[in-house]
Structure 1
Amino acid sequence: MTDADHSATLPYPQHWEADVVLRDGTTAHVRPITPADRDALQRFHTGQSQQSTYMRFFAHLERLSDRDLARFTHVDYVDRCAIVATTTSAREPGVERIIGVARFDRVDADEAEVAFNVSDHIQGKGLGSVLLEHIADAAREVGIRRFTAEVLPHNARMLAVFTEAGYDQTQYVDDGIVTVSVDLDPTVRSEHVMAEREHRAESRSMQRLFRPRRMVLIASLTDEPTPEETRLASAALSSGIGVAGQVLHVVGLTPVTIRDAQRRHGMRDTFVHHADVRSFLADDTTFDLAVITVADHATAPILAILADKGIHTAVMMSSGFAEKGAHGLRLQRDMLRTAHGAGIRIVGPASHGLFSSTSDAPFNASLAPSLPPAGTVGLFCQSAAMAVTLLATVGRRRLGVANFLSAGNRADISGNDLMQFWHDDTDTHAVGMYLESIGNPRKFARIARRLSRRKPVVVVSAGQSGHIVPRGHAVRQTSTPRKTLDHMFQQAGVIRTANTHELVDTLQYFATQPLPGGPRVAIVATSESLAAITAEAARSSGLDVRHMGVIPPLAPARDVHATIEEAYACSDVDTVVIAHVPTVTDVGADTLAAIAKNAARHRIPTVACMYGFHGLTPELTSDGVTVPAYSTPEDAIKVLRHVHGYTTWLATDQGDRIEHHDIDRHRVSQLLSAAPDGPASAELTANVLAAYGITVWEAVTVATSAEAVAAAQTVGWPVALKSTADALRHRADLGGVRLGLHTPEELERAFHAMRTELSQQLGRSPSDPCFTFSVQKMAPSGVACVMRTREDELFGPVISFGLSGDATDLLDDLSYGIAPLTTTDAITMVRSLGAAPRLFGYKGLPTADTDAITDLLGRLSQLADHHPQIRELELYPVVVAHQGAAVLSARLIIQPAQRYDKQRRQLPQ
């Protein structure tokens, strides 16, 4: 196509910009090309080897001609587009260096030729697959559904990019050239490939973070730090910051300040001092991790030069960024852009830091004055203030921690990154997360579901709904119901706790005890009343009390031990609960030893409520097994409820992602792109649903009784007559519906009666044109249900299900799921309703076809997941009979696509 053939020109599509993580954990910036990239593109081209140039152009070109440079950099972002990947260097501050290019040229309405060129020095880091994801996402946005590419047979790397992407593709060879044709509609396999690559890159990035060999503390750019810089840096020094066995380099503090901070805390004088950044740069030592406490405005300049010192991660303890308003947000974005351009990932700003206690690479880069013991729990916390509370609680409980990170404003590294790391980290056996906000719930749910299959994920969320956004957190607003977040956690197998106390209670179980085999519990208590209270709490939590033993006051030690051993001897018990609150004497050491020894010998999960003990104590430890102690029996039982729920989720087949193949995704894309925003017509709605295998029963709008009879003859008797007024649709109780009309006479009488009754209710003349009705064939009798999907700005497509009627909405008896759903998700949505018994033969009524319900939910999930232009879609009512389900009405609202979680990898923006 020539320039004259271009049907449209888009303004610079800034939303295509993204920061990405490559296979080795480094970062790069991806963005559309502009005319200003002319010189950078030439430098990129001349820096390529002859072989790479030949692979791209099928000829050796030493330089690109002026005509080529103009054609490659002047694009319209519709018919011709190019995406470049860039990095920056301290040697050329502010100058972007192109390291990869992907471009397409439209050759047909929905087809384009695509080409790639990746810098020789970055080959093997997965940049080609990243560029394919981003150029494909841009192409889909402008209506392109297929890529073709001509590749030389010996260009194995490029052929592998297409082959391994997971898209449906074909290849054929003609005249020594391989022509590859790629269908750009995402598939389950292509999305799985993307998620796997994303996992490997982000996990690798975190592995680099948690395995530093050398660290540097940068307190100031000059030899005169501000009081704020001095206080923050001194606090870091006082915490023992550094890598075990390594000398710490400190930049920007006076030697006196350093010695004072170390002397106050009895630390050794093991540091190298650099008065300012110039001195630091003159030293040829390289580093892995930088802890930065400089003033907010100075962060971007220092980051621009750190990459040349080998630093790949910076911990920003300074505050004064997004939490301070628009100016701080600009500083934060500038800082992040500089960091990612230099290949550096950021923890923070306003972070409390991080540490790792693993034996092979222990280090501390936090402000914590003392660290908890080494252990197997991984911790993530956003707020620095809550990190202080969480670490203090963990320390009091003696709970061992493998690694910890406080994300602060979470500008870059988030809980999602940590979950990617924990999935592969053999030192971490259980995960605890204190979340103040979730920036990308769809990604969180996807990663958490995967992680939960391997190790428990325990979460406390500061906001019960996800509607609260703390200052400094760049999070989109949400309008979802409050319990959507709960349903998302349940869908992902995440254990949600109410507060920090309950979070640590639950983690201390997973850190010390095996998973129980079932819900059967034995209780041993020091009084009948305490046993009864504990048993009631257990039964209320869904546990099955199989044995109760009572230890009388002042009982001899042998009787105490016998009662305890009797509980462990029960063959039908999965967990033992000890509630020992002596009223006359203290708990004897021999009793504590007996509990610990029985737990260790029988390997039966045990929890204890022991007066005077809390957390993990040596008194309740035997043969390497520690029985966790809780403040109250209710606390212990609450933990067992969480544990039982998690083991049940683990034992449940999570099913496969629902993927119907009798759909026409491309057809719906065409329909939606051609339709105006706002409510869709009944015809368009029916066509969209039909493309996904959902049939809406025909309803004919009529204005007279004669038209009603004619419509009934068309759709078939018996029929239903319904008002088209929004307030009366489907409302038989308000006189808006007449059902089971078998003859023309019945229909005519119903028509005139409805018009008269409704005119009286609304105070209008029966001849008012607003009184129109619809005629529809009667569906088989069954249970009326409602299914909806809504594109939420934060959560993406949220699917809901309930039985129809006012009670459902007033009592919020709805279930929710985040698309895409699995088969198990759909079944859970049906069965979790309070009114679900009506679907399963309630009071002798016929059972409803729940398979038909889950089929519809799955199709609705696919439709919503594939097409973010669908703002709202409601199927109401859906009448579910003993066999089959009839969709009697549907309502669709269309909007411009604005989904954040796209089919491409990118860091938070």
Structure 2
Amino acid sequence: MFKIIPDGKSFKEHVLLKNGEGILIRAAKREDIPLVSEFMKRLSKESLRMRFMAAVNEVPQNIIEDLCTGDFVESGCLLAIINEETEPKVIGLGNFISMGDSRSAEVAFLVQDEYQGRGISTIILERLAGICAANGYIELVAEVLPDNQQMLNVFKNSGFKVHQLWDSDAVHIELPVIGGASLWEQAAMRERIAVANSLMPILKPKKIAVIGASRDKNSIGNMIFRNILSNGFTGTVYPVNPKAESVNGVKAYKSVEDLPEEIELAVIAVPAKEVIKVSEEAANKGAKGLIVVSAGFAESGKEGKKRQEKLLNLVRNRGMRLIGPSCLGVMNTHPEVNLNASLAPTLPERGTAGFFSHSAALGLVILNYAKKKGIGFTTYVSAGNRADVSGNDLLQYWYEDSNTKLAILYLETFGNPRKFVRIARNMSRKKPILCIKTAKSKAGRKKAEEKTGKSGGGKEETEALFHQAGIIVADTLDELFDIAMILVHQPLPQGKGVGIIANSAGFATLFADSSEANGLEIKEENLINLGAFAKPDDYTKSVKELLLKENVHSLLVGFACVGNCGPEDIAQSIKKGVVEAERENGIKKPVLLCLMGMYGTVNLKTEYTEKNEEYTFPAFRFPESAPKALSQIVKYSEFIEKPVGKIAWYEDTKGDKARKLCQKYINEKEKNIEILLKPEEAKEIIDCFNLPQCNNPNAFKCTLFVKPDPVFGPLLRLETHKGHSIVRITPITERDIEELVERLNLPECNKIGEIFGRVSQMIEEIPWLYSLKIPLSEKGIIAKDIKMALRPSGFIKIEF
């Protein structure tokens, strides 16, 4: 389901086209008549013919005026605009007009010729559907010329259930704007591709300007310029410095405007008060990406916050993307790029992990630590203040990047948690997401929020977010990289069963205790104590024996040296046992080591196999750490084994009727206040969503709440009469419902899961819903005790 847009007249949203270019979509108003007139004059006669279904030399003025004076109830028009703040230019539009039957609205689109094929009509169609649905329309219609294949494809690929009726003169299109949530999947895919493309100028640039590249080797600008050069960047980099002839032996330019060619990326390291000026100059020189390392923005107080808002307005107005401000740069280890636009002197080892860090300095320290753990990276991004590019954007980039197999996030606060859940839920089934969430303490949370202006979120809500998205969570940095070692170097476990091998009863006991404490399963026959004087061949035999067992899904191997010996021979014998087991049953299982004297990763080549493979085993300093890290990966493996589950959506609802009722009640009350509905009014809206009902008030079992949260948006909270509480972020999936029923140990005939799903749908379909309280029994809701409140502004941010 697309997002319902309750106030079309004030609608405004910055969006990305499929090529990554940023534009503004907003409601047309009377002042836009000159802009739309100019737009019409730039269109080819063929584009006008396709839109007006006849040869048109000039669009009549009254049509242009009608487009710009809609009330967004009977009619309305959305404009696609570039350079809104400086030299606004309309490059496309879409409008709707009521068919006069209060159920259907006709839509039509126009896009400037050179911008066609970039997804503008599709984006506007989704927003028009949201506006029309808010006004109670249940169907969009369109008339299209049979030879207008481009427009027919827009409707066909939109995600709506399209009905076409052909005749000799036109194709009649019907698109229901009620029902299924399949449109979300299409919209999510379009957004993911657009976001990934928008980050290409930052992560895979060919031409860079470092603005503020000083000759002082201790300055930030010089260090970044030097690091780009010394790490073998495959493109061209220009130093910009008004006071230097050259920087590090490279000719310098006094301003970006003096550069001999256009650039894709500008790295800015000048005083904060100069950033906006040089950013505009970079945009004029073609830059589509900015990395602002300069401090003095939102992290520095009110003036800095205003400065950051101006910078963001500039970036969006010019269709650029921004990392920072107050960040430490980015890295890309791909040999075709070799970009180190950061303060780290060298690129990290190339590998398969993408890393996004809210902490700038700590992020660079982590990169060095990761090297000791044998973890390499594809890309690294220092978040800074996250004025524009966030972790959500990087997840979408990594989803599309074939080289990235693992996403690592160091998070302090959330920008848009609902969007994070949606993106992470899709990605985690394809690639694991490993996260450490800090700022849990009151003092830590306050400090993080001061830096970015974003909230850290509550503990219960954060846990719900990670659970629903299938994210692997680490409590400490050490644990983060223990888990990462396993994900990078070992296959996923296919169950909870572990085997344990050690040459000490105490060693084996530590493994076993930690395994059980972390939810792993260990059977007595799968624990082998080889004794203090075990030989390498004993390890080979035991490793093979346990790995061939069906109830052993992972293997923990420990060795404590007794006397004058080292772990090298034992490591080789373990590898030999692994190879022999894999050769016999063809199954790869994770093998984790704790060999006193080895720490990080153990890399061993296998000369006696046909492929001459290299095996890399994670090696832990102490035995308790291995099961703890493994248990988190077992949970993730269980998550991706279960069906993903579609967003809970029911076709027997009447969302259009519910929205009309909400608008009726809101219009009858005072604006901009919370409106508590009468029980009969609340029931009338509830009935539109066909919630099962129970007429026995004594059957009370639990209470379902919808509560507004300033960070997470609408939350579903189920509280049982026994004091248990379950929180979920909407929209929920069929899988969330199954887990709820399982957790509450409800009988198959219960209705609580279905009610959970229907209320989640209600939240998406009624943007004015502010709070809700519904007493439940296993058979249905207890309608007479429902409490519902509406608010004209609702509490859902419009996010696509």
SS in structure 1 at match of 2:459? coil
**Residue-by-residue CA offset, 1:811-858 (whole Å, 9 max, x unaligned):** xx21122222222211212333xxx35x4xxxxxxxx45542212222
Is 1:275 aligned to residue 254 of structure 2?
yes
Aligned partner letter, 2:496? P
Is 1:250 aligned to residue 239 of structure 2?
yes
- Specify whether residues 791 and 146 from structure 1 end up closer, same or farther in structure 2 by C-alpha distance, changes over 3 A only: farther
Structure 2 contact 7–131 (Cα < 8 Å) conserved: no
Displacement after TM superposition at 1:887 (Å): 5.8
SS in structure 1 at match of 2:624? helix
- Specify whether residues 49 and 577 from structure 1 end up closer, same or farther in structure 2 by C-alpha distance, changes over 3 A only: same
Determine which of 734, 739, 759 is the counterpart of 1:828.
739
**1:880 corresponds to:** 778
Equivalent runs, 1:345-424 vs 2, <5 Å? 345-424=321-400
Is 1:83 aligned to residue 78 of structure 2?
yes
Displacement after TM superposition at 1:226 (Å): 11
**1:205 corresponds to:** 198
Greater C-alpha radius of gyration: 1
**1:493 corresponds to:** 470
Aligned partner letter, 1:861? S
Which stretch shifts more, 889-898 or 73-82? 73-82
Aligned partner letter, 1:632? F
Is 1:631 aligned to residue 621 of structure 2?
yes
**Residue-by-residue CA offset, 1:383-442 (whole Å, 9 max, x unaligned):** 313312322321332311111112211122111122112222221111111112222222
**1:511 corresponds to:** 488
Displacement after TM superposition at 1:128 (Å): 0.7
**Residue-by-residue CA offset, 1:281-301 (whole Å, 9 max, x unaligned):** xx1x23332212233233333
Structure 2 contact 559–567 (Cα < 8 Å) conserved: no
TM-score, L = length of structure 2: 0.88
Displacement after TM superposition at 1:872 (Å): 1.8
**1:522 corresponds to:** 499
SS in structure 2 at match of 1:447? helix
**Residue-by-residue CA offset, 1:651-671 (whole Å, 9 max, x unaligned):** 112333322222111111112
Determine which of 783, 786, 789 is the counterpart of 1:893.
789
- Specify whether residues 606 and 272 from structure 1 end up closer, same or farther in structure 2 by C-alpha distance, changes over 3 A only: farther
CA distance in 1, matches of 2:658, 2:766: 8
SS in structure 1 at match of 2:522? strand
**2:50 corresponds to:** 55
- Specify whether residues 214 and 894 from structure 1 end up closer, same or farther in structure 2 by C-alpha distance, changes over 3 A only: same
Is 1:657 aligned to residue 650 of structure 2?
no
**2:126 corresponds to:** 133
Determine which of 20, 28, 31 is the counterpart of 2:26.
31
SS in structure 1 at match of 2:557? strand
**1:604 corresponds to:** 589
Structure 2 contact 290–323 (Cα < 8 Å) conserved: yes
- Specify whether residues 683 and 247 from structure 1 end up closer, same or farther in structure 2 by C-alpha distance, changes over 3 A only: closer
- Specify whether residues 571 and 387 from structure 1 end up closer, same or farther in structure 2 by C-alpha distance, changes over 3 A only: same
SS in structure 2 at match of 1:675? helix
CA distance in 1, matches of 2:63, 2:758: 47
Structure 2 contact 559–594 (Cα < 8 Å) conserved: yes
Which stretch shifts more, 367-376 or 787-796? 787-796
**1:690 corresponds to:** 687
Structure 2 contact 215–244 (Cα < 8 Å) conserved: no
Displacement after TM superposition at 1:644 (Å): 0.8
SS in structure 2 at match of 1:607? strand
Determine which of 406, 411, 416 is the counterpart of 1:440.
416
TM-score, L = length of structure 1: 0.78
Displacement after TM superposition at 1:606 (Å): 0.9
**Residue-by-residue CA offset, 1:701-730 (whole Å, 9 max, x unaligned):** xxxxxxxxxxxxxxxxxxxxxxxxxxxxxx
Displacement after TM superposition at 1:538 (Å): 0.4
Aligned partner letter, 1:785? C
Structure 1 contact 801–829 (Cα < 8 Å) conserved: no
Displacement after TM superposition at 1:509 (Å): 0.6
Displacement after TM superposition at 1:138 (Å): 3.4
- Specify whether residues 177 and 472 from structure 1 end up closer, same or farther in structure 2 by C-alpha distance, changes over 3 A only: farther
Aligned partner letter, 2:95? R
CA distance in 1, matches of 2:339, 2:402: 17
Structure 1 contact 849–880 (Cα < 8 Å) conserved: no
Displacement after TM superposition at 1:683 (Å): 0.8
**Residue-by-residue CA offset, 1:442-476 (whole Å, 9 max, x unaligned):** 22111111111112111111244997652343536
**1:641 corresponds to:** 631
Structure 1 contact 465–483 (Cα < 8 Å) conserved: no
- Specify whether residues 115 and 82 from structure 1 end up closer, same or farther in structure 2 by C-alpha distance, changes over 3 A only: same
Structure 1 contact 86–341 (Cα < 8 Å) conserved: no
SS in structure 2 at match of 1:95? coil
Is 1:316 aligned to residue 308 of structure 2?
no
**Residue-by-residue CA offset, 1:739-796 (whole Å, 9 max, x unaligned):** xxxxxxxxxxxxxxxxxxxxxxxxxxxxxxxxxxxxxx566x6x71222222434323
Displacement after TM superposition at 1:496 (Å): 1.2
Which stretch shifts more, 297-306 or 311-320? 297-306
**Residue-by-residue CA offset, 1:461-503 (whole Å, 9 max, x unaligned):** 124499765234353686xx63122122111211111122211
**1:542 corresponds to:** 519
- Specify whether residues 81 and 633 from structure 1 end up closer, same or farther in structure 2 by C-alpha distance, changes over 3 A only: same
**Residue-by-residue CA offset, 1:139-181 (whole Å, 9 max, x unaligned):** 4445555434333332222233233323345444578244434
Equivalent runs, 1:64-213 vs 2, <5 Å? 64=59, 67-88=62-83, 94-108=86-100, 109=102, 111-172=104-165, 176-185=169-178, 187-213=180-206
CA distance in 1, matches of 2:795, 2:149: 34
Displacement after TM superposition at 1:551 (Å): 4.2
CA distance in 1, matches of 2:308, 2:542: 62
SS in structure 1 at match of 2:652? coil
Is 1:239 aligned to residue 227 of structure 2?
yes
Displacement after TM superposition at 1:56 (Å): 2.5
Displacement after TM superposition at 1:617 (Å): 4.2
**1:756 corresponds to:** none
SS in structure 2 at match of 1:667? helix
**Residue-by-residue CA offset, 1:64-120 (whole Å, 9 max, x unaligned):** 55555544434444444322112239xxx9211211122234453454443321110
**1:337 corresponds to:** 313
SS in structure 2 at match of 1:53? helix
| Residues matched between the structures, number | 770
Displacement after TM superposition at 1:871 (Å): 1.7
- Specify whether residues 569 and 455 from structure 1 end up closer, same or farther in structure 2 by C-alpha distance, changes over 3 A only: same
Which stretch shifts more, 823-832 or 51-60? 51-60
**2:671 corresponds to:** none
Structure 2 contact 677–790 (Cα < 8 Å) conserved: yes
Structure 1 contact 817–829 (Cα < 8 Å) conserved: no
Identity %: 25
CA distance in 1, matches of 2:273, 2:89: 25
Structure 2 contact 556–592 (Cα < 8 Å) conserved: yes
Aligned partner letter, 2:757? G
Displacement after TM superposition at 1:507 (Å): 0.9
SS in structure 2 at match of 1:84? strand
- Specify whether residues 596 and 557 from structure 1 end up closer, same or farther in structure 2 by C-alpha distance, changes over 3 A only: closer
CA distance in 2, matches of 1:600, 1:620: 11
CA distance in 2, matches of 1:251, 1:484: 46
SS in structure 2 at match of 1:616? strand
Structure 2 contact 434–473 (Cα < 8 Å) conserved: yes
CA RMSD, aligned part only? Answer: 3.1
CA distance in 2, matches of 1:551, 1:181: 73
- Specify whether residues 894 and 513 from structure 1 end up closer, same or farther in structure 2 by C-alpha distance, changes over 3 A only: same
**Residue-by-residue CA offset, 1:206-231 (whole Å, 9 max, x unaligned):** 345433223221227xxxx799x982
